[in-house]
Amino acid sequence: MGQIIALDSMIFIYLLDEDERFWDKVEVLFDRIESGEVKAVTSIVSVIEILSPDKYLDDDQTKTEISRFFQETPSLAVFPVDWEISQKAAELRRENRSLKTPDAIQLATAIVGGADVFITNDRKLRGLKLAPLKVRFI
Protein backbone atom coordinates (compact mmCIF):
# COMPACT_ATOMS: atom_id res chain seq x y z
CA MET A 1 0.00 0.00 0.00
CA GLY A 2 1.26 3.54 -0.76
CA GLN A 3 1.67 6.36 1.69
CA ILE A 4 -1.41 7.55 3.53
CA ILE A 5 -1.47 11.09 4.85
CA ALA A 6 -4.01 12.71 7.13
CA LEU A 7 -4.97 16.33 6.72
CA ASP A 8 -6.08 18.85 9.31
CA SER A 9 -8.92 21.26 8.50
CA MET A 10 -6.54 24.18 8.03
CA ILE A 11 -4.88 22.50 5.06
CA PHE A 12 -8.23 22.40 3.25
CA ILE A 13 -8.91 26.01 4.17
CA TYR A 14 -5.56 27.06 2.71
CA LEU A 15 -6.44 25.23 -0.50
CA LEU A 16 -10.04 26.37 -0.85
CA ASP A 17 -9.24 29.99 0.06
CA GLU A 18 -6.16 29.90 -2.20
CA ASP A 19 -4.12 31.30 0.68
CA GLU A 20 -0.99 32.63 -1.00
CA ARG A 21 1.14 32.05 2.13
CA PHE A 22 0.73 28.29 1.73
CA TRP A 23 -0.50 27.90 -1.85
CA ASP A 24 2.65 26.35 -3.32
CA LYS A 25 2.76 23.65 -0.65
CA VAL A 26 -0.93 22.76 -0.66
CA GLU A 27 -1.15 22.77 -4.45
CA VAL A 28 1.65 20.20 -4.72
CA LEU A 29 0.10 18.16 -1.92
CA PHE A 30 -3.34 18.03 -3.55
CA ASP A 31 -1.84 17.29 -6.96
CA ARG A 32 -0.25 14.20 -5.37
CA ILE A 33 -3.59 13.22 -3.81
CA GLU A 34 -5.64 13.74 -6.96
CA SER A 35 -3.13 11.78 -9.05
CA GLY A 36 -3.34 8.87 -6.60
CA GLU A 37 0.35 9.11 -5.70
CA VAL A 38 -0.71 9.31 -2.06
CA LYS A 39 -3.98 8.58 -0.30
CA ALA A 40 -5.41 11.11 2.15
CA VAL A 41 -7.78 10.81 5.07
CA THR A 42 -9.56 13.40 7.15
CA SER A 43 -12.40 13.54 9.63
CA ILE A 44 -15.90 14.77 8.99
CA VAL A 45 -14.81 17.47 11.48
CA SER A 46 -12.92 19.08 8.57
CA VAL A 47 -16.15 19.44 6.60
CA ILE A 48 -17.92 20.94 9.61
CA GLU A 49 -15.13 23.44 10.29
CA ILE A 50 -14.83 24.49 6.65
CA LEU A 51 -18.56 25.01 6.09
CA SER A 52 -19.13 26.85 9.40
CA PRO A 53 -18.01 30.43 8.60
CA ASP A 54 -20.70 33.08 8.20
CA LYS A 55 -19.50 33.83 4.67
CA TYR A 56 -21.37 30.69 3.55
CA LEU A 57 -24.74 31.60 5.13
CA ASP A 58 -26.31 32.60 1.81
CA ASP A 59 -23.85 30.99 -0.59
CA ASP A 60 -25.43 27.67 -1.50
CA GLN A 61 -23.31 27.29 -4.63
CA THR A 62 -20.01 27.43 -2.71
CA LYS A 63 -21.34 25.10 0.00
CA THR A 64 -22.31 22.60 -2.70
CA GLU A 65 -18.91 22.90 -4.41
CA ILE A 66 -17.08 22.33 -1.12
CA SER A 67 -19.27 19.34 -0.29
CA ARG A 68 -18.61 17.86 -3.73
CA PHE A 69 -14.88 18.44 -3.27
CA PHE A 70 -14.90 16.28 -0.14
CA GLN A 71 -17.12 13.63 -1.70
CA GLU A 72 -15.47 13.41 -5.12
CA THR A 73 -11.74 14.11 -4.73
CA PRO A 74 -9.92 10.95 -5.80
CA SER A 75 -7.82 9.31 -3.08
CA LEU A 76 -9.44 11.38 -0.30
CA ALA A 77 -11.48 9.56 2.34
CA VAL A 78 -13.63 11.44 4.84
CA PHE A 79 -14.25 9.38 7.97
CA PRO A 80 -17.29 9.74 10.21
CA VAL A 81 -16.80 9.77 13.96
CA ASP A 82 -17.54 6.14 14.80
CA TRP A 83 -16.99 4.06 17.93
CA GLU A 84 -13.36 3.19 17.14
CA ILE A 85 -12.43 6.80 16.41
CA SER A 86 -14.22 8.07 19.51
CA GLN A 87 -12.38 5.55 21.70
CA LYS A 88 -9.01 6.48 20.17
CA ALA A 89 -9.78 10.20 20.56
CA ALA A 90 -10.57 9.67 24.24
CA GLU A 91 -7.31 7.77 24.69
CA LEU A 92 -5.36 10.58 23.03
CA ARG A 93 -7.01 13.13 25.32
CA ARG A 94 -6.13 11.05 28.40
CA GLU A 95 -2.50 10.94 27.28
CA ASN A 96 -2.41 14.61 26.21
CA ARG A 97 -4.49 16.69 28.63
CA SER A 98 -4.16 19.88 26.56
CA LEU A 99 -5.66 18.25 23.45
CA LYS A 100 -9.06 19.63 22.49
CA THR A 101 -11.81 17.26 21.34
CA PRO A 102 -11.87 18.34 17.64
CA ASP A 103 -8.09 17.90 17.41
CA ALA A 104 -8.30 14.53 19.16
CA ILE A 105 -10.94 13.41 16.65
CA GLN A 106 -8.77 14.53 13.73
CA LEU A 107 -5.73 12.71 15.11
CA ALA A 108 -7.71 9.59 16.01
CA THR A 109 -9.11 9.54 12.48
CA ALA A 110 -5.56 9.69 11.13
CA ILE A 111 -4.46 6.76 13.29
CA VAL A 112 -7.55 4.62 12.65
CA GLY A 113 -7.36 5.49 8.94
CA GLY A 114 -3.83 4.10 8.78
CA ALA A 115 -2.06 7.39 8.09
CA ASP A 116 1.69 7.60 8.40
CA VAL A 117 1.74 11.38 8.73
CA PHE A 118 -0.66 14.06 9.97
CA ILE A 119 -0.21 17.36 8.14
CA THR A 120 -1.26 20.48 10.00
CA ASN A 121 -0.23 24.01 10.80
CA ASP A 122 -1.41 23.82 14.41
CA ARG A 123 1.72 24.41 16.51
CA LYS A 124 -0.17 23.35 19.66
CA LEU A 125 0.32 19.77 18.50
CA ARG A 126 4.09 19.91 19.00
CA GLY A 127 5.40 17.51 21.60
CA LEU A 128 2.25 15.44 22.00
CA LYS A 129 2.32 11.65 22.39
CA LEU A 130 0.79 10.45 19.13
CA ALA A 131 2.63 7.23 18.27
CA PRO A 132 2.64 5.77 15.70
CA LEU A 133 1.59 8.97 13.92
CA LYS A 134 4.15 11.56 12.84
CA VAL A 135 3.04 15.19 12.78
CA ARG A 136 4.37 17.45 10.02
CA PHE A 137 3.83 21.18 9.81
CA ILE A 138 3.16 22.94 6.55
Distance (Å, whole) CA 14 – CA 106: 17
pTM for the complete prediction?
A: 0.94
Domain count of the fold of the chain? 1
Ordered per-residue pLDDT tens for the chain, 138 residues: 579 999 999 999 999 999 999 999 999 999 999 999 999 999 999 999 999 999 888 999 999 999 999 999 999 999 999 999 999 999 999 999 999 999 999 999 999 999 999 999 999 998 887 888 999 998
Distance (Å, whole) CA 50 – CA 103: 14
pLDDT, residue 73, reads 95
Strands 4-7 and 76-79: unpaired
The domain in which residue 119 lies consists of: 4-137
pLDDT, residue 2, reads 78
Query: Which CATH number does the domain housing residue 63 bear?
Result: 3.40.50.1010
Contact in structure between 95 and 131 (CB atoms under 8 Å) = no
